């Protein structure tokens, strides 16, 4: 294609994001054409139900009962895959479109987290582009920032709040003092959480996004299987209360960094200093921070989900394709994507918050301190509530930096004490 010939788009999936993409492309075609250098036109669409009411007009587009038709259609230059899922039709459509030399724009983080390296190689082999700005953090242009704006920098760490549902739940828990189950039920009633919330609250959704960020930041293949994943079900209101007292906020945080032990990728609740920029990101918002040399810390914040913000990122990729911008899927040629050594979580070095529920008896704290000493774990701060002899009381402590294997060994030993009434609860503390 050359000159002012239109970029012809086929869209598979007309749900919230697909409908938002259609609406955005139709809202101001002249402005988009001016920015893209040529028109961007929808030629074909496909979805499960042709006659469903979506609030958009699709009668003027060619209809495909089978989304795989888009991969072969002569009047489609770019396939927008918004079906979802890591396998099945979404995977086959992406593969076939790329093999036919058609570029693909997708919001499908699960697909890329599991098959990204294969699909990147297929795209390059067929002179096509695989673009996925919408797959990570909704409307935040973090993929473009890493691949272009920070291309000259050496990334040292990428981290972020990557799931709005979890951030909303933790925010409301902090603001109201209510427990997880109660706030989750409210989030479901408000439409912020799915009827089956496990994909969000157990960390899977955020981990898919972290795999993609790590791949771009460190020039490696996406490795979802190598991510240490913990969700937020075990975060209690009392932990959020103690965090506030200690000067922290609890966030579900994804972090990737290269260490002497390999690439560390972890997704779990974390305590961050109240003064840290990411601590102030509340509600359904997402945020991604990049620490790089020489630029330093760069923060990106915005809405991480929803039809409008995600469609905005889909259209941004289409504008890039219309302009002729052809970046490698993960920022470097697929043949050079590294197979990084994976750092075991046991080798992680950091500080920890520990909450114990113990019987208030003489010597309990001394026994706990002795185990920590034997594992070379140093206590930084300690909170013990008022005495309540022979009754359950919480003890909270924070540690200086130590190796996780030492901390887990210490907690296993402490958990065996007859005076410790519940399994010790641990939350990692992030550095300033």
Active site amino acids: 209
Q: What is the CA radius of gyration of the chain?
A: 24
Residue 27: burial class (beta carbons within 10 Å; 0-12, 13-18, 19+): exposed
Please, what sign has the CA dihedral across residues 240, 173, 232, 430? negative
Q: Which residues are 302's β-sheet partners? A: 286
To which H or E segment does residue 359 belong?
strand 349-359
Structure tokens belonging to residue 180: 């997880």
Question: DSSP readout, 366-405?
Answer: HHHHHHHHHTTPPEEEEEE-S--TTSEEEEEEEE-SEEHH
d(CA 56, CA 190): 24
Q: Phi then psi for 387, rounded to 5 degrees?
A: -60, 145
Cis preceding linkage at 230, omega within 30: no
d(CA 248, CA 396): 14
Structure tokens belonging to residue 365: 């704290």
């Amino acid at each position: 294609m050359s000159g002012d010939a239109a970029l012809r788009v086929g869209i598979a999936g007309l749900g919230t994001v697909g409908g938002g993409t259609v609406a955005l492309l139709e809202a101001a075609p002249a402005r988009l054409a001016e920015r893209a250098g040529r028109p961007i036109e929808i030629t074909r669409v496909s979805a499960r139900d042709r006659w469903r009411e979506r609030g958009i007009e699709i009668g003027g587009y060619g209809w495909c009962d089978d989304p795989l038709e888009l991969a072969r259609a002569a009047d489609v230059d770019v396939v927008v895959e918004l079906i979802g899922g890591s396998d099945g039709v979404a995977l086959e459509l992406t593969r076939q479109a790329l093999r036919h030399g058609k570029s693909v724009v997708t919001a499908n983080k699960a697909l890329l987290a599991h098959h990204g390296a294969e699909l990147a190689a297929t795209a390059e082999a067929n002179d096509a582009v695989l673009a996925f700005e919408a797959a990570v953090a909704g409307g935040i242009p973090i993929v473009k920032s890493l691949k272009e704006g920070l291309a000259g920098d050496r990334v040292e760490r990428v981290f972020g709040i990557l799931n709005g549902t979890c951030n909303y739940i933790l925010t409301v828990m902090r603001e109201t003092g209510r427990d997880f189950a109660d706030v989750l039920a409210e989030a479901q009633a408000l439409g912020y959480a799915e009827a089956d919330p496990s994909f969000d609250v157990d960390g899977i959704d955020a981990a898919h996004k972290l795999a993609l960020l790590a791949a771009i930041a460190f020039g490696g293949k996406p490795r979802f299987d190598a991510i240490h994943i913990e969700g937020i079900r075990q975060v209690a209101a009392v932990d959020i209360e103690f965090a506030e007292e200690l000067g922290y906020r609890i966030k579900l945080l994804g972090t990737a960094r290269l260490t002497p032990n390999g690439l560390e990728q972890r997704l779990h609740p974390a305590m961050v200093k109240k003064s840290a920029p990411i601590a102030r990101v509340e509600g359904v918002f997402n945020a991604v921070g990049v620490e790089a040399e020489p630029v330093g810390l760069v923060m990106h914040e915005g809405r991480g989900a929803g039809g409008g913000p995600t469609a905005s990122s889909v259209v941004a990729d289409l504008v890039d394709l219309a302009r002729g911008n052809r970046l490698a899927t993960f920022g470097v040629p697929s043949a050079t994507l590294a197979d990084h050594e994976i750092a075991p979580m046991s080798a992680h070095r950091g500080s920890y918050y520990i909450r114990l529920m113990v019987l208030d008896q003489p010597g309990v704290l001394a026994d706990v301190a002795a185990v920590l000493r034997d594992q070379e774990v140093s206590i930084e701060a300690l909170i013990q509530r008022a005495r309540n002899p022979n009754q359950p009381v919480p003890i909270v402590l924070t540690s200086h930096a130590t190796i996780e294997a030492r901390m887990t060994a210490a907690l296993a030993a402490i958990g065996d004490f007859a005076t410790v009434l519940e399994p010790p609860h641990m939350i990692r503390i992030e550095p300033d």
